[in-house]
Structure 1
Amino acid sequence: MVINVQVRARPRNRLVTGVLLLFGVPLVAVAALRTVGYDGGWYTLVLLALTPYAVVYGALLGGVSLVLRRWWTGGIALALAILLAVFVAPRVMADEQPAVAGKSLRVMSANLYLGHADAATIVKLVRDNRVDVLNLVEMTSAEVSALDKAGLFGLLPYRVLHAAPGADGSGIVSRYPLTEENYTGDSTAKQPSAEADLGGGTVVELVAVHPESPDTGVDQWERETKDLSRAAGEHGLRILAGDFNATLDHAALATVLSRGYHDAADERGDGLQPTWPADATPLVTLDHVLVDKRAAVEDYRVFDVPGTDHRAVYAEVRLP
């Protein structure tokens, strides 16, 4: 009788072990991709975007496995969760900033969601936060008219605008005089660039970032993102702000950061604040303000804007 019970238990034990191993496959995939710095295709990009959640997932899977006495499975799952936590945890800790005493620049970026964002809210955010530079992506001609009617250009009179239907339009609006430049390669959506003259010999280079969405072409997204990665020492003080269609766990964005930039949210310990999809439950951080490492990030915030699926991002930067 005892022998029969043991024989029946083995298939059930194997089934439990198999199920746990199956649940461990995405965890192993995320840990491997993140460690080697490989974005892969569309599905692996989605997995990488969920890296912060994979930390919790791995801890839960490891705990359940240990309770069920699957020691190897539980130990490996916990080890992978710890590995991913090493990448993610620094985002909730503020970093020491460079000791600089130059001018302060307040930068905000908003994805207008095909021109459907509420213009009055955008203008109110600019006014309330004394924004100096506003980057706008997915900007249509109708949205430009709505922003004008809401009073945006009375607050920020200088502009470089490339309105277009759908998601391809972008622009930079500023309190300071702008000179349009070309700091990026060709891209599907216009990513305008400009030099802002802050006076007193201080100039800042600005880019409104919006590379192709990877769901329509991963190779194009990767190329357009890496086109932003010219080394900071090869040009003037530069700030990149917009919808990168990437998180800090994507290798393409890591390439940009490695060339002399800091992520403003990460610097202030707010690197886990999600920005998309704002019209549902925000899950991932696709919108960023990347700041030249020679400058200091003094503040960072995210704002909800009715009518768009992205949160606006804001950073106050102290220049050298």
Structure 2
Amino acid sequence: MRARGVVLGLAALVVLAPAAFLTVVRATDPGSGRLIRAESFTPLALPAYAVVLVVALLVLVLARRRGGGRGRGVAGAGPALVALVALVGLVLHAVWFAPRLLGANPPPADGARTLVVMTANLYAGHADGIELVRTASEEDVDVLVVEEVTTEELADMEAAGLADLFPFRIGEAHALDADGTMVFSRTLLGTAEPVDTGHESWLVRVTDPDVGDALTLLVVHPYAPTEPAQWRADHAAIRAAVEDADPDLVVGDFNATLDHPPMRALGDLGLRSVAELANEGWQPTWPSNGIRGLLGVGLPPLVQIDHVLVGRRLAALGTHTVDVPGTDHRAVVAEVARK
């Protein structure tokens, strides 16, 4: 009995407590920077609750067998309570996560041409610009959005044939900082209008005769919630731009997951993640390439903060992430088409 208690106690301490913490954070949407960042990990509570539930049920079954089918009283109350908490948490997180796997996805119009969009955060110029251009070519990208592009990295991209693939562009690279956001396109781009975020964000029209009328594209890069006031202000500016322009595509490094209030607010305005619409599930994009670590061990991607969102005029065909060497983000490639 003591061994079962030790196992259950460890499961509750190591797995259940962090999962319950994520549940409280997701349910309350706190305002501090650390808790905003913690909310990014909300999907990880789903498997955590599942593990705790299985362990608790196993302990209950063993208790009943050894107790001659009784398994009740104080000895059985602990595992039963843990199982109940885990079950409630599992159901709640399943409800939050379900839209990424289930739901209607309106089809494209007959004969509509596919538009391929890619977004990549270049980690303040540390990404491999040559490999980025090669990947964009292999993925047959029509519109490439990059954040944190520096002048040195842009030169590398030019050397790899960037202008041949994408003859049209807006935005500027910066010498050293992470502010530069640019859009490269195979087809004509209209005049770009800046959006008032800490890093550069742009509103621009993309003209493609094969797609139909020009598409309105909003590319975004708000501050990370390490500066929560700026993060909230940036997302308020993005929401205002969406309300004013009714964009067809909103693309970039949002520094927010679908669980965060600003992303849910964009959903209320009719924008949906391509990954969610296409029922592609969880596609974490940060961290990448082992650049971020814990106790000397590189972490795999754990949070999904890079997104391609579509408005009511576009259908989502599919999306996936790709590795770009040198950056701490995985790039997102999405396929969309006119409805």
> Shared topology, TM-score over 0.5?
yes
Determine the structure 2 residue equivalent to 1:4.
Answer: none
Deviations 1:165-222 (A, max 9, x none): 22111101111111233363x111111221112237611111222110111x112112
Query: 1:147-158, aligned counterparts within 5 Å?
Result: 147-158=157-168
Output the CA distance in 2 between the equivalents of 1:40 and 1:99: 39
Determine the structure 1 residue equivalent to 2:295.
Answer: none
Output the CA distance in 1 between the equivalents of 2:108 and 2:154: 38
- Out of 99, 103, 116, which is 1:106 matched to? 116
Q: Is the 8 A contact 1:295 1:319 kept in 2?
A: yes
Output the CA distance in 2 between the equivalents of 1:173 and 1:231: 21
Determine the structure 2 residue equivalent to 1:60.
Answer: 51
Q: What is the TM-score normalised by the length of structure 1?
A: 0.86
SS in 2 for 1:300: strand
RMSD: 2.8
Determine the structure 2 residue equivalent to 1:257.
Answer: 267
Determine the structure 2 residue equivalent to 1:117.
Answer: 127
SS in 1 for 2:239: coil
Determine the structure 2 residue equivalent to 1:81.
Answer: 90
The amino acid that maps onto 1:178 is L
SS in 2 for 1:117: coil
Q: Is the 8 A contact 2:197 2:237 kept in 1?
A: no
Determine the structure 2 residue equivalent to 1:3.
Answer: none
Q: Is the 8 A contact 1:39 1:251 kept in 2?
A: no
Q: Is the 8 A contact 1:41 1:218 kept in 2?
A: yes
Output the CA distance in 1 between the equivalents of 2:246 and 2:235: 19
Cα shift at 1:46? 3.0
Output the CA distance in 2 between the equivalents of 1:161 and 1:199: 23
Question: Given the superposition, is the C-alpha separation of residues 126 and 99 from structure 1 closer, same or farther in structure 2, using an over 3 Å criterion?
Answer: closer
- Out of 146, 168, 173, which is 2:179 matched to? 168
Determine the structure 1 residue equivalent to 2:237.
Answer: 227
| Ranges in structure 2 where 5+ consecutive residues have no aligned partner | 61-75, 291-299
SS in 2 for 1:203: strand
Q: How many residues align?
A: 308
Question: Given the superposition, is the C-alpha separation of residues 76 and 119 from structure 1 closer, same or farther in structure 2, using an over 3 Å criterion?
Answer: same
Range that drifts further, 85-94 or 122-131: 85-94
Determine the structure 2 residue equivalent to 1:47.
Answer: 38
Output the CA distance in 2 between the equivalents of 1:171 and 1:206: 12
Whether 1:210 aligns to 2:221 is: yes
Q: Is the 8 A contact 2:33 2:225 kept in 1?
A: yes
The amino acid that maps onto 2:119 is S
The amino acid that maps onto 2:38 is L
| Ranges in structure 1 where 5+ consecutive residues have no aligned partner | 1-8
The amino acid that maps onto 2:162 is L
> Identity across aligned pairs (percent)?
34
- Out of 171, 179, 191, which is 1:180 matched to? 191
Q: What is the TM-score normalised by the length of structure 2?
A: 0.82
Q: Is the 8 A contact 2:248 2:313 kept in 1?
A: no
